[in-house]
């Protein structure tokens, strides 16, 4: 699931150190792997079963990708999008839960977040979903399915699936007895417990528009908290003589202007 539409990069050194200064030698262990067109990384205390922790996170990534990737024809969302007929479409409980949350957020934001505009996003080169954009009012989450009353309605969960995967990865680590961990998936961050040195976790936020060496805009302290980061620089483009971003406003159908 190549859902990494952000241009915001947490500097590897800043994130992997878990703060503004390097961790004490041997205090932490760093794991990582591919996730949704980006990467996942985890900082854990030394000791414990790192192999089991890494396998648990990788299993979550595979599961979410198999269910919710719009890039995979064999995923639940891929099949949902290709089905031209209206009616209930069987999907797993996690997918139903994420769709329900996406629809709730769409209502709360007055349509600023909309999981049905995949075709519109694709027209600007940022996704694979084809068809007619829009259709929030044609969707309903049922006990065992997601129903669409219009056959052309599609779903793109890239704006929410990573956060869902992160929550599941954190829960998987907790189930292994790992109470202290910092986990990132493409800019989505979950901080559990404390850094192995006993202090709160610290994450560096890269300054917008910085070229060359990493420039830190701010150090954020997290304790049993989550943070989402996003940005526009790598995916920006020029349109009509102005800087334009890959972030599409569903209400206007146009990309947001950049700086």
Whether 66 is in a domain gets the answer no
Query: Same domain, yes or no, for 253 and 147?
Result: yes
Query: What is the percent of the chain with per-residue pLDDT over 70, rounded to a whole number?
Result: 81
Query: Same domain, yes or no, for 128 and 91?
Result: yes
* Residue 209 binned pLDDT confidence (cut-offs 50, 70, 90): low
Whether 4 is in a domain gets the answer no
Query: Same domain, yes or no, for 132 and 102?
Result: yes
Whether 249 is in a domain gets the answer yes
Q: Which residue has the tokens 């929030």?
A: 136
Query: Same domain, yes or no, for 31 and 120?
Result: no
Q: Is the pLDDT of residue 249 over 70?
A: yes
What average pLDDT is seen over the chain?
84
- Please report, for the domain that includes residue 141, its CATH number: 1.10.3980.10
Whether 33 is in a domain gets the answer yes
Structural domains in the chain (count): 2
Query: Same domain, yes or no, for 76 and 144?
Result: yes
In tens, the pLDDT along 108-133 reads 999 999 999 999 888 877 778 988 88
pLDDT at 13: 35
DSSP string across the chain: -----------HHHHHHTSSSPPPTTSEEEEEEEETTEEEEEEEESSS-HHHHHHHHHHHHHHHHHHH-TT-TTSHHHHHHH--S-EEEE--HHHHHHHHHHHHHHHHTTTSS-TT-HHHHHHTTS----S----GGGEEE-SSEEEESSTT-----TTTHHHHHHHHHHHHHHHTT--SEEEEETTEEEEES--TTSSPEEEEEEPTT--SS--EEEEEEESSEEEE----TTT-EEETTEEEEEEEETTTTEEEE--
Whether 190 is in a domain gets the answer yes
d(CA 16, CA 23): 9
Query: Same domain, yes or no, for 136 and 36?
Result: no
Q: Is the pLDDT of residue 1 over 70?
A: no
Query: Same domain, yes or no, for 240 and 219?
Result: no
Domain extent, residue 146, equals: 71-157+235-257
Query: Same domain, yes or no, for 87 and 203?
Result: no
Query: Same domain, yes or no, for 78 and 113?
Result: yes
In tens, the pLDDT along 63-84 reads 999 999 999 999 999 999 999 9
More confident residue, 244 or 168: 168
In tens, the pLDDT along 231-248 reads 665 555 555 666 666 677
- pTM given for the model: 0.83
Q: Which two tokens stand for residue 91?
A: 């999907």
Query: Same domain, yes or no, for 222 and 243?
Result: no
Q: Is the pLDDT of residue 176 over 90?
A: yes
Query: Same domain, yes or no, for 131 and 26?
Result: no
């Amino acid at each position: 699931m190549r859902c990494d539409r952000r241009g915001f990069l947490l500097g590897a050194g800043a994130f992997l150190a878990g703060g503004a200064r390097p961790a004490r030698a041997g205090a932490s262990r760093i794991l990582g792997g591919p996730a949704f067109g980006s990467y996942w990384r985890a900082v854990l205390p030394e000791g414990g079963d790192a192999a089991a922790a890494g396998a648990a996170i990788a299993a979550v990534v595979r599961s979410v990708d198999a269910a919710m990737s719009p890039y995979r024809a064999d995923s639940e969302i891929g099949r949902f999008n290709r089905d031209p007929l209206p009616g209930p479409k069987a999907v797993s409980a996690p997918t139903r839960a994420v769709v329900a949350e996406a629809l709730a957020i769409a209502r709360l934001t007055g349509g600023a977040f909309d999981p049905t505009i995949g075709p519109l996003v694709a027209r600007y080169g940022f996704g694979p979903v084809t068809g007619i954009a829009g259709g929030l009012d044609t969707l309903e989450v049922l006990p065992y399915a997601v129903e669409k009353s219009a056959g052309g309605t599609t779903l793109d969960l890239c704006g929410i699936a990573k956060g869902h995967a992160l929550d599941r990865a954190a829960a998987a680590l907790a189930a292994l007895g790992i109470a202290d961990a910092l986990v990132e998936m493409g800019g989505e961050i979950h901080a559990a417990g404390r850094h192995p040195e006993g202090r709160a976790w610290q994450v560096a936020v890269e300054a917008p528009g910085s070229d060359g060496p990493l420039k830190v805009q701010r150090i954020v302290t997290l304790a049993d908290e989550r943070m989402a980061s996003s940005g526009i620089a790598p995916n920006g483009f020029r349109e009509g003589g102005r800087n334009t971003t890959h972030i599409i406003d569903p209400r206007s159908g146009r990309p947001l202007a950049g700086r």
